[in-house]
Structure 1
Amino acid sequence: MSIAADRAATFGSGGSEPYAHALRREGRLTLVRDDAEGAERGRYDLGRWMAAADDVDRALLAGESGPVLDIGCGPGRMVEAAVEQGFVTLGVDVSRAAVKVARRAGLPVLAHSVFERLPREGHWGTALLLDGNIGIGGDPFALLLRCHELLGRRGTLIVEVQPDDDVDDTFSATVVDDHGRASEAFPWAEVGSVALVRHAEAAGFALDQTWRVDGRAFCRLLRRR
């Protein structure tokens, strides 16, 4: 079990709870590096997260095997897409506000950390780490090891990575919403495809495919052992 499991601070939580506020208003969030650089690291449009899965999202599940686990599922658009495609599906997220939105829509979602005990350990056919969720816990290798534990012997992991292939950065960050509300600092990571493959191979995965579409970049990993 990684030390990431013991960290209370998570994406957009604490402080003025900007993530919870944005979920209620479909606003925008800015990820800000919490160090001397103080640089903005990305903007997140909650409108896209709250909307139904688009063609790019739905295509991620084409040809995959169930059951499907969406890690950091947020309001549940990928959970809904997987259910609609006939998969036994579960979403997990540490944000109770996000889980509440998903459950209101009737979606199968748990308010859990991926590092906590989950149903079907070792038997998931496909796991998803989308929308930057490879950053969860600020330790990509530990997160990939955990995904390896969760997947079945022939399981696949689909990871959305940074468009810059060479990015491999871990840092402390805060999230700020349109009204200036800021979260507590939390550990995060950004990983491009080159670094992801390195971490993944060490965690017991093999790269099957990389691709780009509509400005987004993805890697499909196969559980190797």
Structure 2
Amino acid sequence: MTAALTARGTATLGIDISALAVDLTNARGGLALQRSVFDDVPGEGRWSHLLLADGNIGIGGDPALLLRRCGQLLAAGGSILLDVDPPGSGVLVERVRIERDGHSSGWFRWCWVGAEVLPDLAVPAGLAVVRTWLAADRWQAQLVKKR
């Protein structure tokens, strides 16, 4: 997504703890750094938009902490677009690992967040839920940092 947005002329920065993900993004013409979103990020407090696609609200297994961090990265009035689970799903936190082609990652905390829970998580982070919607069988949400 970072490379695609860059190709459209949008200033973007991808962040991932995976060296492979960063290498692939950079090879495709995007700009990505290998680090955690909880580490120092260039432009902190000045980003207009953040994208938590593909369930990345689950990063770290603590959506309240992640949203607070995202609020620190955003400029006033900035927005977050994210995927969430369907309304009624609540919050589920588990330890998971990725398995592929006979290889497994280490265990890590991950969570899934239902759309109905977002207001309770957003408000303490200085964010407001603008809207939630269903598109192509995936629930989406837009949050905005309060000014």
Output the TM-score relative to the length of structure 2: 0.94
- Asked if the contact 1:134/1:160 (under 8 Å) is kept, the reply is yes
In 1, the alpha carbon distance for the partners of 2:10 and 2:30 equals 12
Deviation at residue 164 of structure 1 after TM alignment: 4.6
In 2, the alpha carbon distance for the partners of 1:166 and 1:218 equals 14
Q: 2:60 aligns with which of 137, 148, 151?
A: 137
Partner of 2:137: 215
Structure 1 residues 57-206: aligned runs within 5 Å:
78-177=1-100, 179-206=101-128
Give the match's secondary structure for 2:39: coil
- Asked if the contact 1:163/1:215 (under 8 Å) is kept, the reply is no
Deviation at residue 222 of structure 1 after TM alignment: 0.7
Q: Which has the higher strand share?
A: 2
Deviations 1:5-53 (A, max 9, x none): xxxxxxxxxxxxxxxxxxxxxxxxxxxxxxxxxxxxxxxxxxxxxxxxx
Give the match's secondary structure for 1:218: strand
In 2, the alpha carbon distance for the partners of 1:80 and 1:101 equals 9
Structure 1 portions without partners, runs of 5+:
1-77
Amino acid paired to 1:198: D
In 2, the alpha carbon distance for the partners of 1:138 and 1:193 equals 16
In 2, the alpha carbon distance for the partners of 1:222 and 1:129 equals 13
In 1, the alpha carbon distance for the partners of 2:98 and 2:48 equals 32
Structure 2 portions without partners, runs of 5+:
none
In 2, the alpha carbon distance for the partners of 1:210 and 1:107 equals 28
Output the TM-score relative to the length of structure 1: 0.62
Give the match's secondary structure for 2:95: strand
Deviation at residue 184 of structure 1 after TM alignment: 1.3
User: Percent identity of the aligned residues?
Assistant: 38
Considering only CA atoms, is the larger Rg found in Structure 1 or Structure 2? 1
| Runs of 4+ that moved beyond 3 A | none
Aligned residues: 147
Deviation at residue 190 of structure 1 after TM alignment: 0.5
Partner of 1:9: none
